[in-house]
Amino acid sequence: MPNKFAVLIIILSFLAFSCSEVKNTNPLDEILASENSMIKIVMDSLEQHEVQILYTRIDRKNDTIQFTDFEFQVDKDNYFYPASTVKFPAAVAALEKLNEIDSLAMGTPFYIEGDSIETSFTKAISEIFAVSDNAANNRLIEFLGQDDLNNRMKSKGVGPIRIAHRLSTLNADEVTTKPLIIYLNDSTTVTGVPIMNGFPTPIELNKTLKGKGFYADDSLYHDPFDFSLKNYYPIEAQHALLKKIIFPEAFPEEQRFNLSPAQHKFLLKTMHALPKDLGYDSEIYYDSYVKFLMFGDSSEPIPEHIKIYNKVGYAYGTLTDCAYINDELNNIDFMVTATLLVNKDGIFNDNAYEYDEIGIPFLAQLGRELYNYELNHKR
């Protein structure tokens, strides 16, 4: 008869190995093997779509937050164009800078020299998250300067990152900012000083040359499109910023952003607000207008018990969503940042991208698959 102690050791070893196997199983492997057509159409042409996904399971134990990260093809050396996702760090950095200037507050009115639109920091940040407004982002860039924005992110462990240009404007690449005209009270205005930033140098990464052609000045060029001077904000950096904003208490104080309690509360509320909450026409700006994961392929209202704190980006055929999803009714929450390219013809600037046919449906189904996994996951 075998030694009882030896048998017990074998059983315990088996159980420990089994638990380790379960713990280390990547749920993305099963989800991306789905036969659902929205997932399969991308996975069947994986190289073409340049998919990267970072999913975080969130567990709580004795007042502490535990993150478990799962990756699929995440590689900071494989470039993708971040588009409007760069507005998230701009918003955070602007709020932090406000705390360093005694005369300014979130509600301080201002306009950019040469611009007729009066705004405030509260309004600009709200517009960034509600409808991904480009002009609102660019006003924050004029306030910050590219170098200061980048340095603030890196100092808190959010990187790599290189914000080099504004979005969809004629002065996108200008390294000197325009002055802000700031209203300090009803009768006093102050003009800010232009900020000089360094000239960006080409980034040396994989996949900065994309496709087989591009349009410029109404002419088609039969060469790859060069992204080496564009903004760079990879999955790892996006996900790191999301974690630090949603759960600042999970990080050492030196890695937290200097936001006041009121600023942090405002930022969180703004990140999950829907366009209709800010007065936008819900027929045009439906709930999922800039919330691709889970609901992007539907214009139906998002259930009230589900809040999505996120920032999307889409341009040059690349779609990205960086989101914290919280279901208050079922008591589940998780994070996911995902990107993919949908440019079947390989031509850039031709406005022939498969956003609605392939890209958004993939992200929506990915979000639903992860949500269902969370519903059934035993902690």
Q: What is the CATH number of the domain that holds 227?
A: 3.40.710.10
Closest CA to 52 of 357, 322, 369: 322
Closest CA to 197 of 263, 267, 144: 144
Task: Report pLDDT for 184.
Answer: 87
**Residue 284 domain-assigned?**
yes
> How far, CA to CA in Å, does 29 sit from each of 55, 142, 295, 313?
12, 43, 22, 25
109: Cβ–Cβ under 8 A, 6 or more apart, which residues?
118, 119, 120, 182, 183
**Residue 11 domain-assigned?**
no
As a whole number, mean pLDDT of residues 32-38 equals 97
221: Cβ–Cβ under 8 A, 6 or more apart, which residues?
213, 214, 215
User: Which string of DSSP letters, residue by residue, matches 252-309?
Assistant: -GGGS----HHHHHHHHHHHH--GGGGT--TTTS-TTTT--TTTTT--SPPPTTEEEE
Distance CA 379, CA 365 (A): 23
Task: Report pLDDT for 10.
Answer: 43
Structure tokens at 197: 């930033």
Does residue 6 have a pLDDT over 60?
no
Q: Which residue has the tokens 């478990």?
A: 68
Does residue 363 have a pLDDT over 90?
yes
As a whole number, mean pLDDT of residues 231-236 equals 98
User: What pLDDT, in 10s, does the model give residues 135-153?
Assistant: 999 999 999 999 999 999 9
CB 73 within 8 A of CB 300: no
Paired strand residues for 307: 326
- HEC string of 210-245 equals ECCEEEECCEEECCCEECCCCCECCHHHHHHHHHHH
As a whole number, mean pLDDT of residues 175-183 equals 96
Q: How many CA atoms lie within 13 A of 90 on its CB side?
A: 37
CB 69 within 8 A of CB 337: no
As a whole number, mean pLDDT of residues 14-20 equals 43
**Residue 22 domain-assigned?**
no
Structure tokens at 339: 């990107």
**Residue 162 domain-assigned?**
yes
Closest CA to 124 of 93, 154, 151, 148: 93
Q: Which residue has the tokens 């603030």?
A: 152
Task: Report pLDDT for 19.
Answer: 43
155: part of which helix (H) or strand (E)?
Answer: helix 146-155
Task: Report pLDDT for 12.
Answer: 42
Does residue 22 have a pLDDT over 70?
no
Distance CA 204, CA 182 (A): 39
Structure tokens at 327: 């279901």
Q: pLDDT-based confidence at 24, cuts 50/70/90?
A: low
Does residue 377 have a pLDDT over 90?
no
> How far, CA to CA in Å, does 333 sit from each of 38, 71, 168, 243, 284?
23, 18, 34, 12, 29
Distance CA 193, CA 92 (A): 21
As a whole number, mean pLDDT of residues 15-37 equals 75
Task: Report pLDDT for 1.
Answer: 46
User: Which string of DSSP letters, residue by residue, matches 325-379?
Assistant: EEETTTTEEEEEEEEEE--TT-EESSS---IIIIIHHHHHHHHHHHHHHHHH---
**Residue 8 domain-assigned?**
no
**Residue 20 domain-assigned?**
no
Total structural domains within the chain? 1
Structure tokens at 184: 């300090």
Task: Report pLDDT for 186.
Answer: 73
Structure tokens at 154: 């890196």
Distance CA 154, CA 150 (A): 6
CB 293 within 8 A of CB 308: yes
Q: What is the residue range of 207's domain?
A: 28-376
User: What pLDDT, in 10s, does the model give residues 304-346?
Assistant: 999 999 999 999 999 999 999 999 999 999 999 999 999 999 9
Question: Within a 10 A sphere around the Cβ of 200, how many other Cβ atoms?
Answer: 18
| Mean pLDDT rounded to a whole number for the chain | 93
**Residue 137 domain-assigned?**
yes
Percentage of the chain beyond pLDDT 70 is 93
Task: Report pLDDT for 8.
Answer: 45
When comparing pLDDT for 29 and 17, which is higher?
29
**Residue 206 domain-assigned?**
yes
